[in-house]
Structure 1
């Protein structure tokens, strides 16, 4: 049973914002992003990836080799069949439109980056703060803030600034680009309907064959509009007219699919430049947003990541608790875990043993070996949770304990 002497081993990933995170199997992977040191933006090493084991609650850092991307923030990361893809982002040189991939299911935790080079078609223009949908082995990218040449200007781009001498333009995009991971091909579908305004720092989520978009930065405002794209016919829905109250406009938030007909929205930066800690559920059946009343008010997050775990949990990692545009010092490395569905009886029993391991220690040897392995993982998990809660970098929300809150 882990004791206090083991707590020095319970490390946690470094603080960061603008990073990428994905879940594959029993592991949460965190890569990239930046922190602020003495008013300077410092990009975190791109030759390392942090792994969080969901069963045990333990973190570890693994080095990476191969064709390593530049250290960046604002890249778009997504996982397809155990392969992590990273597209775009921003570094000291400027905006990127390069695509990299790494196999997460490699043996012996040897992670080797590959730059995707021998592809067909034309990739998007350089940009960051974009989002994507994963559908039928395809990465479907939407929006983002970046730069274009004069010859690349079109109706899918809102100009924010320009260097006339060099004919370089910066602004927001609302185009759609698809990368087929099987055929290694980029293509731009001819979308129908009315698309969302060009934007960045929005969020995307897939439900069935529909790709949803919510909010983001649009010119001088932050939106709270909801749209979806039919990923089979490439038809835009137009803005969805929801029933009743809806979330405030925001950017740098997350929206996660938690059921066949539900989205979970969390955090972001408001139209008044206030960091947000509110949570909302959107139901497709009722076409309504419902605000979650019992979430903590002292855990605002923006430019964080949110991943759906194997037991219907939303795992929010990192981000900032400050307005990054004015006070860029509040980067976080805590992990907020939101329970979105009731746990199974087996999970509840394992948690009960894990929390009360000291009093049950003499009886653990009675368990079958396979079950004992699962119990030991939960003992480790709850020891790590208690340690990190004391340090302020781990919080869980469910109805199982008084400080937890269930989302549905």
Structure 2
């Protein structure tokens, strides 16, 4: 393990390769069972490992203490949902909601609920309920607001059945059978346990929620990766249209991460550009002025895509998992990361680092 402390960026590296293909989600808890020496701030890097042949899912919690750089791993094997890729998920309290994805039978539109404390799955809606569920898809984005689960966009078969009149479908000319992009905005009422019908209108785009607005940047459309920015007001489901931003604009990308900071900025990292090159750049967007700024102090030699990121209360961005090379080049071995087998974790500091935080790790290690 190597630890580097710089003036403006702090990164923890745990080196190695992962042989596991995973779907990562990250969230925080201040009062989780089994916390380390009763210390309050824990980050949980939660992800699913899908075994397509055995149709088995393993749920893994990586419990990581930001202050002292100590981690623990909890692994739970479950039987539901089936092996999937490209699902979208959001966490609300102790509950995770997992929607859609692509498996052995193609795209699905199942919605699952997983209780993080009880470690139990519940199937909320299924593809068998054709006339009360949205169309199958993968690579969508989701968020939770006012006890409702929202989903936007995705890639899959043409829209059909329930809500098929909402939104637009554009076919991918290179796919067979026909698959393509949609711009549907979907709402699931968690209390009533049903999808809601709305008359409201990419693939691999990313979203960040700031109070009642959800910002969406980039994504792939046909053979181009976009760099446009939009937001939707969740209270009335009204779209902003394409926003005009200032400064140097990041190049188009998909498979990046987009995180909301407490000071009114968005933080974007990495991704995959139109030339199929993995990216390692980091940007912030001031939501008041819509000014993009590139962070020059973030290392430019560590590309990352298909990763996850979340923000600590100290405004540090934790980047976990993902791949570092062109995953579409099947002649090159994909290099992926996870903390169970070594992997790599980045911790990016976006403000001045208190001295006491630098000392906590050393004090803890000396006490072992």
TM-score (norm. length: structure 2): 0.80
Give the counterpart of 2:48 among 17, 21, 32: 32
Give deviations 1:367-397, integer Å, cap 9, x for gaps. xxxxxxxxx4x768xx9xxxxxxxxxxxxxx
* CA–CA separation in structure 2 for the residues paired with 1:268 and 1:93: 28
Residue number in structure 1 paired with 2:60:
49
Determine which of 148, 152, 165 is the counterpart of 1:138.
148
Query: Offset of 1:52 from its aligned partner?
Result: 2.3
Tell me whether 1:61 sits opposite 2:74 in the alignment: yes
> Which of 294, 299, 309 does residue 297 from structure 2 map onto?
294
Structure 1 residues not aligned, in runs of 5+: 1-9, 36-40, 358-375, 384-408
CA contact (8 A) 1:306 1:317 kept: yes
Distance 1:19 1:126, change over 3 A: same
Is the 1:18–1:304 contact (alpha carbons within 8 Å) kept by the matching residues of 2? no
Give 1:134 shift. 2.0
- Aligned-partner Cα distance in 2 for 1:354–1:270: 37
Counterpart residue number, 2:195: 186
The counterpart of 1:321, out of the listed 317, 321, 324, is: 324
Deviation at 1:96, TM superposition (A): 1.7
Cα distance in structure 2, aligned partners of 1:274 and 1:89: 24
Measured at CA, do residues 138 and 216 of structure 1 come closer, stay the same or move farther in structure 2, by a change above 3 Å? same
Distance (whole Å) between structure 2 residues aligned to residue 181 and residue 11 of structure 1:
40
CA contact (8 A) 1:22 1:77 kept: no
- Aligned counterpart, 1:366: none
- Answering whether residue 234 of structure 2 is matched by residue 221 of structure 1, we say no
Q: Could you tell me how far 1:342 is from its partner in structure 2?
A: 3.7
Give the equivalent residue in structure 1 for 2:5: none
Residue aligned with 1:354, SS: helix
Structure 1 residue 16 displacement after superposition? 5.0
Spell out, residue by residue over 1:239-260, the C-alpha distance to the aligned partner (whole angstroms, 9 max, x if none). Answer: 0011121100011111000125
* Contact 1:258/1:264 (8 A) holds in 2: yes
Q: 1:115 is matched with which residue: 114, 119, 123?
A: 123
Alpha-carbon deviations, 1:211-234, whole Å to 9, x = none?
A: 111000011211000000011111
Looking at structure 2, the residues matched to 46 and 13 of structure 1 have their Cα atoms a distance apart, in angstroms, of 21
Quick one: structure 1 residues 114 and 11, their matched pair in 2 at CA, closer, same or farther if it must change by over 3 Å? farther
How far 1:163 sits from its partner (Å)?
8.8
Q: C-alpha displacement at 1:59, in angstroms?
A: 3.0
Please list, as runs of the form range in 1=range in 2, the aligned pairs for 1:327-406 lying within 5 A after superposition. 327=332, 329-333=334-338, 334-343=344-353, 348-355=355-362, 357=363, 376=364
Alignment of 1:170-185 (within 5 A): 170-185=179-194
Kindly provide the CA deviation profile for residues 10-30 of structure 1, in whole angstroms up to 9, marking residues without a partner as x: 999955556131213023232
Once residues 94 and 136 of structure 1 are traced to their aligned partners in structure 2, the CA distance between those partners, rounded to angstroms, is: 32
Cα separation, partners in 2 of 1:379 and 1:322, compared to 1, 3 Å: farther
Partners of 1:18 and 1:32 within 8 A in 2: yes
Q: TM-score, normalised by structure 1?
A: 0.73
For the 8 Å contact 2:17–2:337, the answer to whether it is kept is no
Query: Which segment drifts farther, 295-304 or 97-106?
Result: 97-106
In 1: Cα distance, 2:16 partner to 2:49 partner: 15
Tell me which residue corresponds to 2:139.
129
SS in 1 for 2:361: helix
* CA drift at 1:332: 1.9
Over 3 Å counting, the alpha-carbon distance change for 1:13 and 1:64 in structure 2 is: farther
Describe how 1:81-120 pairs up with structure 2 within 5 A.
Answer: 81-106=93-118, 111-117=119-125
CA distance in 2, matches of 1:217, 1:62: 34
Aligned 8 A contact 2:16 2:337 in 1: no
The 1:335–1:11 alpha-carbon spacing in structure 2 relative to 1, beyond 3 Å, is closer
1:397 is matched with none
| C-alpha displacement of 1:180 | 1.8
**Distance in 1 separating the partners of 2:249 and 2:335:** 28
Q: Which runs of 5+ in 2 are unaligned?
A: 1-13, 30-41, 339-343
1:242 and 1:337 map into 2 onto residues whose CA distance is 27
Residue of structure 1 equivalent to 2:242: 239
How many residues align? The count is: 330
- State whether residues 75 and 129 of structure 1, in contact with CA within 8 Å, keep that contact through their aligned partners in structure 2: yes
Say if 2:280 is the partner of 1:277.
Answer: yes
Q: Which entry has the higher C-alpha Rg, 1 or 2? A: 1
